[in-house]
Structure 1
Amino acid sequence: MTRETSETVEAALARTGSPVHLLRDLQSRATTFPVQPEFTNWRSEQHAWATTCALLDQSHHMTDLFISGPDAERLLSDLAVNSFTGFGVGKAKQFIAVSPEGLLIGDAILFHLEEDLYDLVGHPFVLDWVQFHLERGGYDATTRRDDNSAVRTSGPPALYRYELQGPTALAVVEAASGAPVPEVKFFGTTQLTIDGHRVTALRHGMAGQPGFELFGPWPDGEAVLAALLRAGEAHGLVRAGAKAYSTSNLESGWVPAPFPAIFSDHPLMAEYRAWLPAAKLGSLGGSFSSDDVAAYSLDPFEVGYGRSVKLDHDFIGREALERRAASTTRTKVTLVWDDGDVADAIGSLFRPGPGAKHVELPKARYATHHVDAVLRDGAPVGLSLDCGYLANERAFVSLAVVDAEHAEPGTRVEVLWGESPNSTKPQVEPHEQRTVRATVAPVPFVQFARESYRSR
């Protein structure tokens, strides 16, 4: 292996001297989903989850960490802000982990599959954190990891996962299974039979629409998919590719890759960095610039996870979160970028350059962790985190955290777009920074947009 793939994060920091400089020039690209980009076109595919039903293949872009053994729940509870009271077999939850300072390490979806068997599904950041603590010792538990298809060294995934979203999702699932779907609460699971195969169905919703996540053993996936496509013909089912799927979080308000708070001087974090391969790091991009790496980190309260924080158990970061609960000053919002300013940035492609940083559609994020500066009258008031275009609302938006006094819907702010100086990431071309006007809107954006934004 090369130095870049074999060295640890701690070694990389010793070599570069600054976590910000290391990540800003990191050569890794923004997260992409290793599935077909479009089946029709991303505009129509976005439209499907608002009007009929979209089918999204989640089999390849997420990592599974299966955790089993008598101490599996204790391990997870020691690391999660969430309570495990009443978290029985057949339930799922958003698993949220923080640093000793109470700042986000990351989040993922946790399934309680069987007694003493869990599946933690999502971005590798938080899965690595769990794996590290298990390997430190003290837990009677084991793990089996199934990396996503972009990095898996051989073979197919362990499980297929198909997400169905939209007004006709229930009708499609019932037509495919040939029976009514049992009543199940949000983030609960039930068992179905589709084309003779046992299928686990998670009840949830993204992009403001009802939906299901269906999963089971990989060998069954092709037959289950074919049955869903047949059933969906009468209900407007549209397969959605990676481009459309990557924008669904902008409607629902989920921040997909918050900057992981692993760079503090706390001894535990130094030990973690000495364990974590530097190749696991993601790149940092955007206009926000600070030599203080902590300035890029977020706490659970400012990204809307406050209701998941339960102080009924001991966990890493609990004392810090108790303090932050009373002191957090920022809140999550949607920013609706000014149409003319976005169009002008895109139009700079056709004028002598360098122009604005290229605005990719539908998702404009160009680093793993995208952090743009949000300004009001030239003064910093927050961070813009993830941005893209929503065809259903005909709006370019971003998710952001802003100071509470500037979070009222209708407040006018500015987003600084582009880097200065330009980093050496391969996806960053020579460009000039642009100020884009934006209007604060609620999270999630969809209901507000359909009731208020369009009418204006």
Structure 2
Amino acid sequence: MDQPTDAGIPAEEPRDTPLRGEHEALGASFTDFGGWLMPVRYTSDLAEHHAVRQAAGLFDISHMGEILVEGGGAGAFLDHALAGAISAVPVGRAKYTMILAEDGGIVDDLIVYRLQDDEFLVIANAGNREVVARELTDRVAGFDATVEDQSDDYALIALQGPTAERILAETAGVVELSLPLPEIRNYAWGSVLFGGEPLLIARTGYTGEDGFELLVPVARAAELWRALLAAGEPHGLVPAGLAARDTLRLEAGMPLYGHELSRDIVPAQAGLGRVIPAGKTGFVGEAATESRPDAPVLIGLTAEGRRAGRAGYGVFRGDERVGEITSGALSPTLGHPIAMAFVRPDALPSDGAAASDLTIDVRGTRIPATVTALPFYRRNS
């Protein structure tokens, strides 16, 4: 029987990705994430995290949204609708950007791929897929462009880690590369055939490692998943869940919507003012460019020991609460606690030196914390 929500409306069941059966066969544990039933782990969070740093991990990210924008005015439309200079992105490349509310708050962070001169693919976060599609549709009036949510037609699989390129090159059924894999640069894409079906492969990811994201028609998703696992077995590839993905992206200093990003935050507060080109005007959310000198800013914090601050824990200077952690964990790679937090600017040192008088309240115990530049972890090459 459906469980009622607080408003008396039955709660919706989380959606399954096309790979649900594959995850069950591999013994995955599941969680509801953004309205989707997603694998949180297969064996252990730590093992999956370390596999991605040392070899490779395979992630189901089919909960993400895929929205096609095309037409002669598609570039001009996206310049208006989004924060970035999308019309300047060359065919074959991708750009990290944001869709903003009128007041400058972040509706979602996105990756936009330019497929053709008049064709763009917008990748949205799972929980925001419908709102992004709706916002784009609402903003397209007056432009020679169309917006089509194609999310239900595709699965998205991420192959991440130092051995990802070799694994993809050895995957059975992957042929006819538009570019040799080494020539697909970071934030660029190429195409392959898999079982006769065209696939888009992008050198993007959310782990801080080298790797690819593969867009595959739903009907071929399970076949591709199995082929990648088979090719990767000799190279240390393991399936990896949301828990490992979260600690990997935290080490890499990558924001998560609902934690570091929200409608209450403008890009500059999150250290992402660069997504808006200098001097850009005439776009939805232009208010984000207004100065907000007293607004909390996102910082990195590190601590000693094993007790890590978590989302919602307070950051203090003396007895005064000056901020709040948005994401935190004991870093599997670095071996000490790390966190991202929004903190009042006046509580931070002005000379760039590490603040030694900040503490994190970890269940009633104040843990000294040091301001640390993001990212916490950066791969060697």
Please show how residues 72-111 of structure 1 align to structure 2 within 5 Å.
72-111=74-113
Q: What is the CA–CA distance in structure 2 between the aligned matches of 1:338 and 1:399, rounded to whole Å?
A: 15
Higher strand residue share: 2
Q: What is the CA–CA distance in structure 2 between the aligned matches of 1:131 and 1:377, rounded to whole Å?
A: 45
**Structure 1 321/394 Cα, relative in aligned 2: closer, same or farther at 3 Å?**
same
The residue type equivalent to 2:234 in the other structure is A
Aligned residue for 2:234, secondary structure, equals helix
Q: CA deviation at 1:212?
A: 1.0
The residue type equivalent to 2:119 in the other structure is L
**Aligned twin of 1:158:** 153
Which of 135, 138, 142 is equivalent to 1:132? Answer: 135
Q: CA deviation at 1:5?
A: 8.7
Which of 169, 175, 191 is equivalent to 1:174? Answer: 169
Answer yes or no: is 1:415 the counterpart of 2:360.
yes
**Aligned twin of 2:299:** 333
Answer yes or no: is 1:442 the counterpart of 2:373.
yes
- Give deviations 1:377-429, integer Å, cap 9, x for gaps: 123443321223332223332212332527644634223457xxxxxxxxxxx
Which of 320, 326, 343 is equivalent to 1:385? Answer: 326
**Aligned twin of 1:184:** 184
Which of 286, 307, 317 is equivalent to 1:376? Answer: 317
**Structure 1 414/240 Cα, relative in aligned 2: closer, same or farther at 3 Å?**
same
Q: What is the CA–CA distance in structure 2 between the aligned matches of 1:413 and 1:127, rounded to whole Å?
A: 40
Q: What is the CA–CA distance in structure 2 between the aligned matches of 1:194 and 1:408, rounded to whole Å?
A: 52
Which of 349, 374, 380 is equivalent to 1:405? Answer: 349
**Aligned twin of 1:323:** 290
Higher relative contact order (CA 8 A, sep 6+): 1
**Structure 1 333/101 Cα, relative in aligned 2: closer, same or farther at 3 Å?**
same
**Structure 1 134/207 Cα, relative in aligned 2: closer, same or farther at 3 Å?**
closer
Please show how residues 229-308 of structure 1 align to structure 2 within 5 Å.
229-257=229-257, 258=260, 260-261=262-263, 297-308=264-275
Q: What is the CA–CA distance in structure 2 between the aligned matches of 1:174 and 1:205, rounded to whole Å?
A: 18
Alignment check: 8 A CA contact 2:133 2:147 kept: no
Please show how residues 338-357 of structure 1 align to structure 2 within 5 Å.
338-339=304-305, 341-342=307-308
Q: CA deviation at 1:198?
A: 2.6
- Give deviations 1:121-173, integer Å, cap 9, x for gaps: 222447625523533643444433356xxxxxxxxx42121111111111111
Q: CA deviation at 1:189?
A: 0.4
Alignment check: 8 A CA contact 2:72 2:144 kept: yes
> Bigger shift: 72-81 or 30-39?
30-39
Q: What is the CA–CA distance in structure 2 between the aligned matches of 1:125 and 1:439, rounded to whole Å?
A: 33
Alignment check: 8 A CA contact 2:99 2:110 kept: no
Structure 2 residues not aligned, in runs of 5+ = 10-31
**Structure 1 398/191 Cα, relative in aligned 2: closer, same or farther at 3 Å?**
same
**Structure 1 36/84 Cα, relative in aligned 2: closer, same or farther at 3 Å?**
closer
Q: TM-score, normalised by structure 2?
A: 0.77
Q: What is the CA–CA distance in structure 2 between the aligned matches of 1:340 and 1:394, rounded to whole Å?
A: 8
Answer yes or no: is 1:39 the counterpart of 2:35.
no
Q: What is the CA–CA distance in structure 2 between the aligned matches of 1:340 and 1:410, rounded to whole Å?
A: 20
Aligned residue for 2:269, secondary structure, equals coil
**Aligned twin of 2:335:** 394
The residue type equivalent to 1:440 in the other structure is V
Q: What is the CA–CA distance in structure 1 between the aligned matches of 2:366 and 2:36, rounded to whole Å?
A: 30
Aligned residue for 1:89, secondary structure, equals coil
Alignment check: 8 A CA contact 2:326 2:340 kept: yes
Alignment check: 8 A CA contact 1:332 1:443 kept: no
Alignment check: 8 A CA contact 1:102 1:324 kept: no
Q: What is the CA–CA distance in structure 2 between the aligned matches of 1:133 and 1:245, rounded to whole Å?
A: 28
User: Cα RMSD between the aligned structures?
Assistant: 3.3
Alignment check: 8 A CA contact 2:261 2:270 kept: no
- Give deviations 1:316-366, integer Å, cap 9, x for gaps: 233x344328x4776533222453554xxxxxxxxxxxxxxxx8xxxx55x
Q: What is the CA–CA distance in structure 2 between the aligned matches of 1:408 and 1:380, rounded to whole Å?
A: 20
Q: What is the CA–CA distance in structure 2 between the aligned matches of 1:211 and 1:78, rounded to whole Å?
A: 31
Please show how residues 49-68 of structure 1 align to structure 2 within 5 Å.
49-59=52-62, 61-68=63-70
Structure 1 residues not aligned, in runs of 5+ = 7-28, 148-156, 262-296, 343-358, 366-370, 419-432, 451-456
> Bigger shift: 44-53 or 387-396?
387-396
Aligned residue for 2:88, secondary structure, equals coil
**Aligned twin of 1:421:** none
Alignment check: 8 A CA contact 1:191 1:200 kept: yes
Q: What is the CA–CA distance in structure 2 between the aligned matches of 1:146 and 1:372, rounded to whole Å?
A: 38
Higher helix residue share: 1
